[in-house]
Amino acid sequence: MQSLMAGASEDELGGHKLARQLNARITKAIGFVGDPSNTKHLKKAARLLKGFSNQLAHGLAKRKSPIDPTLGAELGALLNDALSELTAVVTG
């Protein structure tokens, strides 16, 4: 997900501010997933990814400089996979 976002321009990600916020959330979530034995960190990563999902949905719905729809669909699919795996690890 991070490499996909790195390859996209700020305009494709909905502008400078939104691109920066989305990158920050992904970077923090990856940092928390680094220690899979700590469930507290995994739960924080899941919460960050849910926030990323909300920001992605709002960015797709923006009228002025929205997120590119194809990029948004790819990110959404990857996000759903990541969230399902993360919740399986936390609950399992």
> What are the boundaries of each domain within the chain?
2-91
Q: Is the pLDDT of residue 92 over 80?
A: no
* Predicted confidence band of residue 82 (pLDDT cuts 50, 70, 90): very high
pTM: 0.88
Closest C-alpha among 2, 35, 33, 36 to residue 19: 2
Q: Is the pLDDT of residue 80 over 90?
A: yes
Q: Which tens digit of pLDDT belongs to each residue from 16-73?
A: 999 999 999 999 999 999 877 888 999 999 999 999 999 999 999 999 889 999 999 9
